[in-house]
A and B are shown apart, each in its own frame.
Chain A
C-alpha cells in the first residue's frame, strides 16, 4: 500500500485471546477506578489523608490495565482505537485520568479532584460498553495518518475540558456551600477558589489549543480526502461553535475581568456543548462523524 493504514484484522473477526485480554484488563481498570473513587470520597468526607493517598495510588494502578486494554485493542484492530464510540470514550477516560495524575503530581492539593475525575472516567468507560465493541474494518476515508492526529488531539482536548470543568464545579460547590463549620472543614480539603479558578482557566486554555489542532487537522484531512477543508458538516460546525464559546470565555476573562463563579458557570455550560457535539449531534442530524454515535 502506498497510503494510509491497512487494517490488520480480518474484518469482523478478532483473535479470541486478544478479545479476552482486552475485556479482562478493561474491567480490571473499571474496578480499580471504582475502588479509587470510593476511597477519594471516603477520604474527603472523613478527612483521612491516608485514604486520599491510597486512592491516588489506586488510580495510577488502574491506569495500567486501562492502557493495556487500549494497546491490545490497537494491536487487534491494526489501527488506533479512535474509530468508534466505544474506542473514543475509553480513550477520553484514559486521557482524563492521565491529566489528573499529572496535575495532582504537580499540585498535591488537587488530588481531591479525583473524587470527581475518577467517577466521570469509570462512568464513561461503562457507557463505552453500550455500543458494539467488535473490531470493524476501517472505511477507506478513515485510512489515513490524520485519523490518529485528529482523534488524538480531540481526546486530549476533551480530557483537558473534563479537568477544567471538574475544577469549575468544585469552585461552584465551594462558593455556594452553607456557611457552617462542617462545610468549611469539608471544602478546606480542596484548593482555594482562586487556585481552582486559575486551574480551570489554564486547562480551558490548553483545551482551546488542543481543540484548535483537532479542527485544523480535521480540515487538512477533509481536504485530502474530499477536496474541501470545510463542509459545514453538523459535527464540524458544532466543534467550531464549542471552540468559539471557549473563545468567548477567554475574551471575557482577559478583557472583562470575569473570574470566579461567572467564569465557572460559563466553563460548565461550554462543557455541555462539548458533550453534545461529540455524542449528541449524531443522533439529531446525519453527519460524516456517524461512528461517534453511542
Chain B
C-alpha cells in the first residue's frame, strides 16, 4: 500500500504523465482541429485525472513540510559544520570584533537579508536569510492548479449553455422551451429562473466600405413583470443576471413582417419571420423556407437589404445595409406555384384570392447564454497560480552563515552560503558580499 502511495505521489510519475498528456494535445490540435470533443474522450480525461491526482498527492503532504521550513528556528552551527556547504570561505579581519559584526550587519541588511545573531563564548555567529517564503510559491502554484480543476469540474457538471434568437421587440423567457439550442449538464437540475429578456434594438455599424464594423444590442430584463435591468450588450460586454450571462453573437439577420389575408379578410399569417443567415462563397444571404400554420401554403423567401433588379430580372443586393429592402418570394400550395417574384418594402401581391403584404422589416440577433458557477473558482485558481509563480520567481531562498572568533588580536572566521536555485548567480553574489566584507583580506 505504501509503495502504491509513494508511486502516486512521485515526481517521476509527474514527469511521465506530463509528456503523455502533451502528445494528444499536439496531435489533436494539429490533425483534428475543430474536433474539440476528442479532448472529452475517456482516455484523455483519464490522463488528465491521473495528472491531477498526482499533483494532489504530491502537494498536500508538502504543506506541513513547507510550513515547518518557513517558521522553524535555524539550527545551531559552528565553524566546522560550515565546511560542508557548497560556497565556503575562510576570512580574517584586523578590526575589533564588534566593528566586523557591525559591518557585516550593514552589508547584509543592505541586501535585505534577515539576520539572527548569537553570541557565544568563542565569538559571534550570524545567520542571514532571505526569500524563505519562496518555498510557498511552488506549493501555492500547485494548489492553484487544483482549484482550477475543481472549478472546471464543478462547472462541467452543473452548467448550462444555450442560444436563442430574438427579433427586435420580441422577448425571450429563461425557460427550457424558449432556447433554440440547449445543453444542460447532468447536475444542472432545471435551474431555470423564468425571467425575461427583450431585444429592444440591434445596432449594426458599417464602415465606409460597407462592411460590418461593430454590432451590439439594447436589451431589457424583466423579472416577474418588473423591469430590473437595461443594458447594451456587445462582444466583450455581456449581460449578467441571476447567474446567467448573455453574450452577443456575431450572427444577426433580418425578419420581414409578412401579412397574409384570405379573400374574406381573415389573417392567415402576421409575423416577423426570422430568415436564416447563410454564408455561401464568402457572401452572406438571408434565406428561409417555412409553412404558414393551419394552411398548406409554403413560402420560400430570400431577403435583399439593398435590392436592385437589373434588367427586371432576379434581385441582387448592392450592400448589406438595409436601404432598399426587398424579398424574392416563391409561394406554393402543394405543387402549385401561387406566386414567384420580387416584392419591395412596402408592397403587396395578390394571388389566388389571397393578399401577401411585406409591411416592415426588423433585425434579429442571436445570443449565447451560459450559467457556470465554476467560473469564479477557475479564475481564482488561475490568479492564485500566477501569484504563486511570482513568489517562486522573486524569492529564491538564500542563506548565509558567518562564524567570527577573536584570536590573538585579530578576528578570524568562516563564511558559507547556499541558495535553492540559480547557484552560479548566487555564487557571484556570495563572493561579492565576502569580498566587500573582507576588502580582500582573506586568509
Known contacts A140-B214, A202-B425, A232-B29; A11/B22 CB under 8 A: no
A232: nearest chain-B partner, CB-CB: B36
**Chain B, range 138-171, C-beta contacts under 8 Å to A:** 161
CB pair B424 A195 closer than 8 Å:
yes
Taking the complex as formed, is B7 at the interface, i.e. its CB lies under 8 A from any CB of chain A?
A: no
Considering the chains assembled together, what is the distance between the CA atoms of A3 and B11 in angstroms? 46
**Chain B, range 29-57, C-beta contacts under 8 Å to A:** 29-30, 33-34, 36, 39
CB pair A226 B385 closer than 8 Å:
no
CB pair A255 B237 closer than 8 Å:
no
Known contacts A11-B207, A237-B29, A286-B33; A247/B385 CB under 8 A: no
CB pair A140 B18 closer than 8 Å:
no
Considering the chains assembled together, what is the distance between the CA atoms of A141 and B215 in angstroms? 10
Q: How many A-B residue pairs have CB under 8 A?
A: 137
Question: Could you mark each residue 201-212 of chain B with 1 if its beta carbon is under 8 Å from any beta carbon of chain A, else 0?
Answer: 000000111000
Considering the chains assembled together, what is the distance between the CA atoms of A124 and B36 in angstroms? 33
Cβ–Cβ < 8 Å partners of A212 in chain B: 385-386, 389
CB pair A11 B208 closer than 8 Å:
yes
Taking the complex as formed, is A45 at the interface, i.e. its CB lies under 8 A from any CB of chain B?
A: no
A248: nearest chain-B partner, CB-CB: B18
Nearest Cβ in chain A — how far from B396, in angstroms? Answer: 9
Cβ–Cβ < 8 Å partners of A216 in chain B: 379, 382-383, 385-386
Known contacts A141-B236, A206-B393; A248/B15 CB under 8 A: yes
Nearest Cβ in chain B — how far from A236, in angstroms? Answer: 8
CB pair B25 A237 closer than 8 Å:
yes
**Chain B, range 380-433, C-beta contacts under 8 Å to A:** 382-383, 385-386, 389-390, 392-393, 421-425, 427-428
Cβ–Cβ < 8 Å partners of B161 in chain A: 227
The count of chain A contact residues (Cβ–Cβ below 8 Å) is 57
Nearest Cβ in chain B — how far from A195, in angstroms? Answer: 5
Give the interface size class of chain B: 35 or more
A287: nearest chain-B partner, CB-CB: B33
Considering the chains assembled together, what is the distance between the CA atoms of A223 and B152 in angstroms? 13
Question: Could you mark each residue 1-21 of chain A with 1 if its beta carbon is under 8 Å from any beta carbon of chain B, else 0?
Answer: 011100000111000000000
Cβ–Cβ < 8 Å partners of B422 in chain A: 198, 201-202
CB pair B207 A251 closer than 8 Å:
no
Contact sample, A vs B, 21 pairs, CB 8 Å cutoff:
A10-B208, A11-B207, A11-B209, A140-B250, A143-B214, A194-B424, A195-B424, A198-B424, A198-B425, A205-B393, A206-B393, A208-B389, A219-B379, A226-B247, A229-B378, A232-B36, A232-B39, A238-B29, A251-B14, A281-B29, A285-B30
Chain B interfacial positions (CB closer than 8 Å to A): 11, 14-15, 18-19, 21-22, 25-26, 28-30, 33-34, 36, 39, 161, 207-209, 213-215, 232, 234-238, 245, 247, 250, 368-370, 375, 378-379, 382-383, 385-386, 389-390, 392-393, 421-425, 427-428
Known: A2-B237, A220-B382, A228-B370. 15 other contacts (CB 8 A): A192-B424, A198-B422, A198-B424, A198-B425, A202-B425, A205-B392, A212-B385, A223-B375, A225-B247, A229-B378, A238-B29, A240-B25, A251-B14, A281-B30, A285-B33
